[in-house]
Amino acid sequence: MKTLFINIKKLIQVEDNARKWLAGKEMANLSFIENAFLLIEDEFIKDFGPMTEIPDFNEDETIVEVDVSGRMILPSFCDSHTHLVYSGSREIEYVDKIKGLSYEEIAKRGGGILNSSNRLHIASEEELYQNAMERIREIANFGTGAVEIKSGYGLSTEDELKMLRVIKKLKETTPLEIKATFLGAHAVPANYKGRQYEYVDLVINEMIPKVAEEKLADYIDVFCDKGFFTVDETDRILKAGEKHGLTGKIHANELDYSGGIQVGVKYNALSVDHLEFVGDTEIESLLKSNTMPTILPGAAFFLNMPLSPVRKMMDAGLPIALASDYNPGSSPSGNMKFIMSLGCINYKMTPEEVINATTINSAYAMGIEKTHGSICRGKVANLYVTTEIDNYEFIPYAYTSNLIEKVMLRGEFI
Ligand code: NIG
Ligand code: FE
């Protein structure tokens, strides 16, 4: 089965060879072809180029031709950090926040992650699956073609496995590319209050081996921050993960200079995420690593947090990825187009930089840069067609308009 897009006003984020990531000054470059064609065969990108170089086809070949005059095509977003399996929303805490309580104060009162954990405990696997599936459909229509999903609302062996099984079922039943991350060390559950050390032991000695044995996770995460897990605990957990083949993707430096970045780098983490608190030492450590610094502009926006020094990091030569952090407490949205707008407005990133940060770089941050994140021959055909627009800069500029007309995942329109 072949699909041929013709008259594409701009075919954006094209590359002949899949790059690892774009760092520093390179992030300002976005390659595109004007007046282009794009050929899809089965679930892969077969060919592309200017309309003047369109190949000849045999007359008996069945090709579906799609004329997209006036429209642009971009690779689907890769959302490399979400918690989109959860039960129930937390708008009451949202009101508490409006009235002045901080994220940490809400957590101390048994709200926050523990509130979601109680609700997850009583929800059935099927209910969790159906709710998550609705969110997946929503983000697919917003242009996301790959998503990482974390556990971390279970906080007991049984419930963590329950969450990961839901993610596994999502993997098997949606056309999106999904990666699963085990986040047992998201918070200390109420029944371990005052016994954090023992909970960490449980994560290491019971949860990680079971998760690995059932092959339920691709990566491992720890919330390494003030009031949550220490650097020593994170070190122990990442070491145990490494032993079981789980690479780190960790929550770090959201609430303080937690040391999370350095311990992540020590274990060759794929990404360190949040990064509101980053200074020269953290930048130095990242520069010597293969770890993708990932910013979650939705969480900083929703919680009114200080902004990560993104420009300083890029000026130092670092790559940056952006992700949604879709979760009920700090970022109840998985709209990556809005994340791009926040990147531009709050972090002063250019449209080219935010497109790179939500495609090639975020693909790297979830370990799929060889198959996703750009328009490249042989990569999976995950893309979206815009409405009629004059410039791609219009996409992050029109920050609440859904400018997506068609979505293709694995070579098929959804
Ligand atoms: O990435 N920071 C830690 N975890 C999530 C929030 C989870 C929640 O509040 O439910 C985050 O922001
Ligand atoms: Fe998160």
Q: For 30-77, what is each residue's pLDDT tens digit?
A: 999 999 999 999 999 999 999 999 998 887 888 999 999 999 999 999
Whose CA is closest to 254, among 237, 236, 276? 276
Q: Which ligand is nearest to the CA of 298?
A: 1
Q: Which stretches does DSSP call E strand in 135-201?
A: 144-150, 177-185
- 260 Cβ closer than 6 Å to some ligand 1 atom: no
Q: How far apart are CA 185 and CA 200, in angstroms?
A: 7
- 330 Cβ closer than 6 Å to some ligand 1 atom: yes
- 273 Cβ closer than 6 Å to some ligand 1 atom: no
At 362 the pLDDT is 98
Distance 81 CA to ligand 2 centre (A): 6
Whose CA is closest to 176, among 338, 380, 389, 385? 380
At 21 the pLDDT is 98
Work out the percent of the chain whose per-residue pLDDT is above 70.
100
Q: Which ligand is nearest to the CA of 150?
A: 2
Distance 319 CA to ligand 1 centre (A): 23
At 61 the pLDDT is 85
- 255 Cβ closer than 6 Å to some ligand 1 atom: no
Nearest CA, atom 12, ligand 1: 330
Distance 222 CA to ligand 1 centre (A): 11
CB-neighbour burial class of residue 170 (10 A; exposed 0-12, middle 13-18, buried 19+): buried
At 265 the pLDDT is 98
Q: How far apart are CA 298 and CA 324, in angstroms?
A: 6
Which ligand 1 atom lies nearest to the CA of residue 86? 10
Whose CA is closest to 271, among 97, 114, 80, 104? 80
CATH class of 77-364: alpha beta
At 410 the pLDDT is 98
Whose CA is closest to 248, among 198, 205, 293, 291? 291
Q: How far apart are CA 301 and CA 330, in angstroms?
A: 9
Which ligand 1 atom lies nearest to the CA of residue 299? 12
What is the signed CA dihedral for 406, 411, 412, 413, rounded to 10 degrees? 0
Whose CA is closest to 192, among 212, 206, 211, 213? 206
Which run of H or E residues covers position 47?
Answer: strand 44-50
Is pTM beyond 0.85 here? yes
Which ligand 1 atom lies nearest to the CA of residue 328? 10
Q: Which ligand is nearest to the CA of 104?
A: 1
The total number of residues written for the chain in this structure? 414
Residue intervals of the chain classified under CATH 2.30.40.10 are: 2-75+374-413
> 10 Å Cβ neighbour count for 165?
18
Whose CA is closest to 329, among 165, 97, 28, 126? 97
Give per-residue pLDDT as tens, 195-252.
Answer: 999 999 999 999 999 999 999 999 999 999 999 999 999 999 999 999 999 999 999 9
- 87 Cβ closer than 6 Å to some ligand 1 atom: no
- 327 Cβ closer than 6 Å to some ligand 1 atom: yes
Q: How far apart are CA 16 and CA 275, in angstroms?
A: 32
DSSP 8-state secondary structure symbol assigned to residue 413: E
Q: Which ligand is nearest to the CA of 187?
A: 1
Q: Please, which residues bridge with residue 319 across strands?
A: 23
Distance 134 CA to ligand 2 centre (A): 20
Nearest CA, atom 9, ligand 1: 329
At 346 the pLDDT is 98
Distance 169 CA to ligand 2 centre (A): 21
Q: Please, which residues bridge with residue 406 across strands?
A: 385
- 329 Cβ closer than 6 Å to some ligand 1 atom: yes
At 107 the pLDDT is 80
Whose CA is closest to 260, among 298, 296, 286? 286
Whose CA is closest to 362, among 223, 179, 239? 179
Report residues of the chain scoring pLDDT below 70. none
Which ligand 1 atom lies nearest to the CA of residue 223? 3
Q: Which stretches does DSSP call E strand in 111-246?
A: 144-150, 177-185, 219-224
Is the separation of the CB atoms in 394 and 339 below 8 Å? no
Q: For domain 2-75+374-413, say whether CATH 3.30.1490.70 is its number.
A: no
At 400 the pLDDT is 94
At 108 the pLDDT is 79
Residue intervals of the chain classified under CATH 3.20.20.140 are: 77-364
Q: How far apart are CA 174 and CA 163, in angstroms?
A: 17
- 254 Cβ closer than 6 Å to some ligand 1 atom: yes
> Ligand 1, from 330, 333, 339: best to mutate by most atoms within 8 Å of Cβ?
330
